[in-house]
Structure 1
Amino acid sequence: MATRGQKCAACLGDIGHRRNGFTAECHHTFHHGCVSGGNVCPVCNARWHVTVAVTVAPNPSPPARTLFAAFARRHSIFRTSGRSRELRVYDDDEPVEQPPASRVGKAAQAAENNGAVVLKTHGEYTAVARSTSRDNFAVVIHIKAPSMAENGTAVARAPLDLVTVLDVSGSMSGGKLALLKRAMGFVIDKLGPDDRLSIVSFSNDARRVIRLTRMSDYGKASAKTGVESLVANGGTNILKGLLEGAKVLDDRRYRNAVASVILLSDGQDTYNLTDWGTSKKYNVLVPPSFKRSGERCVPVHTFGFGTDHDAAAMHTIAEETGGTFSFIENQAVVQDAFAQCIGGLLSVTVQETRIVITCSHPGVRVRSVKSGSYQGLVGADGRTASVDVGELYADEERRFLLFVDVPVAGAEEDVTDLIKVSCTYRDTATRQPMVVAGEDAVVVRPELATNMEPSMEVEWERFRVEATEDMAAAQEAAECGGHAAAATILDRRQEALSRSAPGLAGDARCAALVSELRELRARVADRQEYERTGRACLFAGMRSHAQQRATSVQLLGTAAPTPTPSGLSRSLFQGAPGRAPPAPPSSSFGAVGAYATPAMQRMVASSRKKREDGGSLNCPD
């Protein structure tokens, strides 16, 4: 039997003791009179194991309700624990359609014409004196994914299985929920007929709003009806929501090539987090099947909605699953944040990407590899190394910093071959395994090597890696109350740039990263500002740089989709003594925005246009 305060998914009317209802096994709630009978949910098209008889009266007597509950128990429809009900198996996902052979052939041809993954190398210096050995000689390995192959007007891409796990606790009521519904409507409109979507909502408990449904015209209409049925009330149980989302993906009978989860929450999980000394074990919020344990893990892209969300929890969930973490301070642009994420998910061109490094010269050894959140391994003898990159969006780039030992050259050795690089991956559109060879890294060995200019690619990557490490150090200091120390850490990184790499001063990427460091410094220096926004901004920046993938940090009502070289909007601090002067606004600050791909930028531009055409809907924090 449904509980009071719920809404009927058919008529959207209240369920009360005068108009009783029931909760079906797909977790939709109905008035008895709003279901015409049968065994198919009128909202999500899920097939029920029990048939609802048309003889059930709109206001059933207690014996009728008792008979329905007894029938449900007899057929093991629900597993009951207290007041919660959980469907045993979500194996009712709508079948995926196999594309016709002609379309597969055209996609393969388009992908072939578009090219493969590109691998390049950049050595710290082009030459090392013949009689000199160099320890920790830096080499940047640069990988770029192919663009999305286009066949006429159709884009050859892999279809997506997407589960959105949405917070509908009481704090989401009013304008927040209206903004979320609008953002979900945009996502639904952008999904194609081969993509599948399931919506999960959570507050005290969680429910699946619609099954994993193909986004045909009928599927989109069902999804939008499900979104409109969302009502905000209750507490915040993030684990329940993620467990429900995991069940949708774990139990599905069919699988699209790409799968992902979007999690949005505006609050703190008060049901599952236990203090262990001075810290909370946030990883308890991650379902076991979502934790990274192989090549085909499902990333959870988390969105902290407003300034009251738990940034540490959302960052941990993203980190544990290989997803991104986005901080949406300006709630009015949540649609843009979703758009940027969807723009990437709908443009995955390669999967299972792995870079393999082999030393060419017998005296060369790999010391270490800086690979951020990607698993980097160095062989026991230092002769080989690898980086597991995983999934890449169209045009997405990664740079990894490798340190090798360069031996003294032989008397007749004019060039030393350092390393060979290659890459294996699976083309997402064709599902074919691919192997590509990259550029070999070499150094010239003259008698003397003087006045050598360092590679700007290497200097930039070194500065980016060190800045990311300083963000983590600043975050750790701020968590312990050392806000002045945290600010000093970020100040020193900016100062180090002019001393160690003056040639980078005019680089747009470097200027954006410096602006980001200035912004973060201002947000960690003050305890109140750190608690309100600084922690979330630091986590978002750390996660973005560790992945080299764009995340949304929406600030101050700004919503421009394309980052500017000047970096972060600093108008928040206009007039504040000791803070940076105002600069042109951008939606994703600093170098974080620099990772946005063309497909992501186009999707955000589309979202902005739709918001502007549809009028503004503001929700003050």
Structure 2
Amino acid sequence: MCGRINQSEVKALSKKIEDRLYIHSFTVKHRIIKKRITHSLMEFTARPLHPVYDNDEPLPLNLHLPIPSASLPRVRVEGIPDTSIVISSDPPNYFLIKVTAPSMSEYGEHPLRRAPVDLVMVLDCMVSEGGLVTVDHLTSAVGFVIDQMCPWDRLSIVSPCPEEERSNFPLRRMTDQGKEDAKRAVGSFNFATDYTDDVVEILSRGARVLERRRCQNQVAFIILVSNIKQSEPVLDRQLTLAYLDELPFSIYPFSPQGPIDDFFRRPVYPIYSFGIGLDHEPFSLLTLSSLTGGNYSSLDTPEILKDAIACRIGALLSVVTLEFSLRIVRLISGVTIRDVHTGSYHYFIGGMDRSIADIKVESLSADEVKEFLIEVALPTNLEWRREEPCLNISWTYKDAVSFTGREELFCDTLRVHRLLHPLPSRTNAESDEVMRQKTCSFGVRSICEALDMAERGEVEAARNYLMEQTVEMSFERSIERDDTLCLWLFDEMREVTGRMAGGVPSYNLGGLAYALSTLSSCETQRMTTIGSRVHGADAIPFQPYGTPNMLEMLRRSRRVQG
């Protein structure tokens, strides 16, 4: 005989079921729609949305020295087909678009030879004398950053402090006096041992510093240092990201869809995040970095924090190009752009029959290289050998050193040799650059697929799968030819495999963070610090996606340690 259920019990049961259904339906798509509606409403509210801060130090009047347009260094763009002669009967075909930023030395007598920056450092850390992260680790890393900045740069520091002690360091020019005051402020911060602000509040405060500036350097970044631990037990990954919805658009934008002509219209501040410790929360750090155009480093120990930040500062203090846009347009009938492999950089394929592709990169540091793999289907009705134009490549950008606000426009045509019948492989070898990108794409896909399996709780199956993929990758010609980038990714895949050996516990404690940081480096084509090593140091001379200025900053950091 069934027991009676009164009306209050029915209501409580219904409420519990509704809550459970809501939680399970709470996906990234719903969160993006929510943000889209919220930010659309904000567009119609009265402006300004926020009061302007009055404590950021004004910029010097002679900030930008004129450089004649004819004397400006140029961003170099090169189109490389996968083979020197394209066989018309072999779809698809791959083309590599290689973008290289100018060196700082090309700016000659300009006193700065780079863009001045506004930098906010957000220290979302709990510290203790006997704990993993100490005050010395933070003050040493921040102090190094302060020392590398110049009077045209400005710095603000945000840290979690009790309510009455929120006198964080405002945006100040790094003059001699500014540097002294910044170091004194960091030394006076009362870093919490058992208290921390909500991360949304800390990051929002950092964003407000940049959003409400009276004066603006055209380049602005956020460095986020965090050792906040994962929740126990580890919940659904989407639920762990739900709290980020309260962040402002400038540091948590949804990905735009459709035409991207106005991609750079609304300011977004790249977040470069550094997670410390095997048990820090990696998904939110990667998400924040990916959506804003930054990247994510995973540090096993805080001892390498200063070196890791030194490498990143080497890139941030060498920005020479802003708002780089690349457009690819077909020139002959029948050409179809099937896919564009850009990693985390935004792209859009349009036209009536996929005849146009756009790629956007927010900024380029000196000597930085970006390589984008374009997958194209070519018509197969040609019956004679000839050279013909295939794709038109045009690009625009703003020079960040002179920064007149004027766009520089350049274009080039990618020509291909066409042949109806195949040639012996020795006379039509695949380009080393294209082969390298294909191999790296294989490695990235393998790690992603392994993570998907591990997130479903199948860690052992994920480990076995990644081991098989690693063996398969070892036979790639790029590996056999000792390509340094491919060998680095090969070693990272083996390290991720090793960090899954202990099952779910070892995957959650370091394995996941290591894999995500590796993916962040590959998808942004920018160096990250992963695990317990800093690439570019004496013991590990190769620095994946490194630049000369990053290596120089690392050497300076090592000299300070010595």
TM-score calculated relative to the size of structure 1: 0.73
* Cα 1:210/1:168, change in 2 over 3 Å: same
1:323 to 294, 319, 332: 294
Kindly indicate whether residue 126 of structure 2 is the aligned counterpart of residue 169 of structure 1: yes
Partner of 2:16: none
**Deviation of the 1:414 alpha carbon:** 1.2
**1:57 maps to which residue?**
none
Residue type of the alignment partner of 2:155: L
- Closer/same/farther in 2, CA of residues 112 and 327 from structure 1, 3 Å limit: farther
Alignment match, 1:263:
224
Structure 2: 5+ residue runs without aligned partners?
A: 1-49, 257-262
Give yes or no for contact 2:94–2:376 (8 Å, CA) kept in 1: yes
- Which is greater in Rg? 1
1:285 is displaced (CA, Å) by 6.3
Structure 1 consecutive aligned stretches of length 4 or more whose deviation exceeds 6 Å:
273-278
Q: 2:96 aligns with which of 140, 146, 155?
A: 140
State the alpha-carbon separation in 2 of the partners of residues 508 and 182 from structure 1.
32
Deviation at 1:163, TM superposition (A): 0.6
Aligned to 2:540: 586
Aligned-CA RMSD value: 2.8
Q: Choose from 112, 118, 128 the match for 2:86.
A: 128
Contact 1:141 1:401 in 2 (8 A): yes
Hey, what's the Cα distance between the residues in 2 that align with 1:604 and 1:157? 18
Residue 226 of structure 1, CA deviation: 0.6
1:607 corresponds, among 550, 554, 557, to 557
In structure 1, give the amino acid aligned to 2:77: L
Query: Residues 465 and 207 of structure 1: is their aligned pair in 2 closer, same or farther, counting only changes over 3 Å?
Result: farther
Change (3 A) 1:177 1:313: same
Structural mapping, 1:68-467, within 5 Å = 90-99=53-62, 104-105=65-66, 108=67, 113=71, 115-129=73-87, 132-148=88-104, 149-152=106-109, 154-170=111-127, 176-202=134-160, 207-233=166-192, 234-236=194-196, 237-268=198-229, 280-281=241-242, 283-284=244-245, 286-292=247-253, 294-295=263-264, 296-380=267-351, 381-412=353-384, 414-431=386-403, 432-438=406-412, 440-445=414-419, 447-451=421-425, 452-467=428-443
CA-CA distance at 1:155 after TM superposition:
3.2
Identify if the C-alpha distance between structure 1 residues 253 and 277 changes in structure 2 by more than 3 Å, giving closer, same or farther: closer
Deviations 1:532-575 (A, max 9, x none): 211111110111111111111251xx456348xxxxxxxxxxxx
CA contact (8 A) 1:207 1:244 kept: no
Q: Which amino acid aligns with 1:385?
A: A
CA shift in 2, pair 1:392/1:489, >3 Å = farther
Give 3-state SS (helix, strand or coil) of 2:340's partner.
strand
Structure 1 residue 412: deviation in Å? Answer: 4.9
Question: CA–CA distance in 2 between the matches of 1:465 and 1:502?
Answer: 12
Q: Deviations over 1:79-135 (max 9, x none)?
A: xxxxxxxx97533211111326xx713xx25x8657311111121222234xx4333
Say which structure, 1 or 2, has more relative contact order (CA 8 Å, 6+ apart): 2
Question: SS of the residue aligned with 2:86?
Answer: coil
Query: Could you tell me how far apart the structure 1 residues matched to 2:469 and 2:479 are?
Result: 16
SS of corresponding position for 2:195: coil
The 3 A distance-change label for structure 1 pair 286 and 397 is farther
Match of 1:543 among 491, 508, 520: 520
User: 1:505–1:511: 8 Å Cα contact kept in structure 2?
Assistant: no
Q: What percent identity do the matched residue pairs reach? A: 30
C-alpha separation in 1, matches of 2:124 and 2:136: 13
Q: CA deviation at 1:494?
A: 2.3
Unaligned stretches of 5+ residues in structure 1: 1-86, 564-584, 613-621
- Cα offsets for 1:485-515 (capped at 9, x unmatched): 2222322332333555467543222222211
SS state at 1:155 partner = coil
Q: What secondary structure is seen at the aligned counterpart in 2 of 1:128?
A: strand
1-structure distance, mates of 2:464, 2:480: 22
- Shift in Å, 1:421: 1.0
- Number of residues paired by the alignment? 491
